[in-house]
Amino acid sequence: MTGARIRRARPDEAAGLTALALRAKAHWPYGEDLMAVFRRSIVIAAADIADHLVLVHETGGTVDGFGVQRPGGGGPDMELDHLWVDPPAIGRGVGRRLFLAFADEARRCGAARIVLNSDPYAEGFYTRLGAVRIGDHPVAEIPGRVLPRMAFKL
């Protein structure tokens, strides 16, 4: 992709990244009741950017995707907390490039795999990259909602 690059996020980008994530979530056929929950629960804070690996994908100087990765809970895993692509950029390889950049960083850190809770609409994307479903993750904020728990071996 011409003019594309991946870089670390800056803390002053937190509000813009949150807005991008919510646009990406709204791309899928979620009703207003779920979107209201997502608006409360999908928040990227400046502290997240300072404390974790947050990468942004830019095309022509415009941020069109980002993700957040952090060490997993007590094991050799890295946890991919977020991976969002702005709807106009979906299908252009932005998500794939971000995911592979996170995989490269996880390998450098000595991780054995990347684990994540996938949106059901994104499970096919992660499967195409080589991730496998390893279980289910109940969503505390939405009783009865279960997300695919996935792992990508490094």
CB 97 within 8 Å of CB 83: no
Domains of the chain: 4-153 (3.40.630.30)
Neighbours of 91 (CB within 10 A): 9
pTM check: above 0.85: yes
At 93 the three-state DSSP class reads coil
Q: Which two three-digit tokens encode residue 150?
A: 């996935």
Per the listing, tokens 């996880």 go with 106
pLDDT tens for each residue of the chain, 154 residues long? 678 999 999 999 999 999 999 999 999 999 999 999 999 999 999 999 999 999 999 999 999 999 999 998 767 899 999 999 999 999 999 999 999 999 999 999 999 999 999 999 999 999 999 999 999 999 988 999 999 999 999 9
pLDDT (tens digit per residue) in 91-105: 999 999 999 999 999
* Cβ 82 vs Cβ 68: under 8 Å: yes
| Residue 77 near residue 111, CB atoms below 8 Å | yes
**Which pair of tokens denotes residue 59?**
């095309």
Q: Measured between alpha carbons, how far is 50 from 44 in angstroms, rounded to an integer?
A: 11
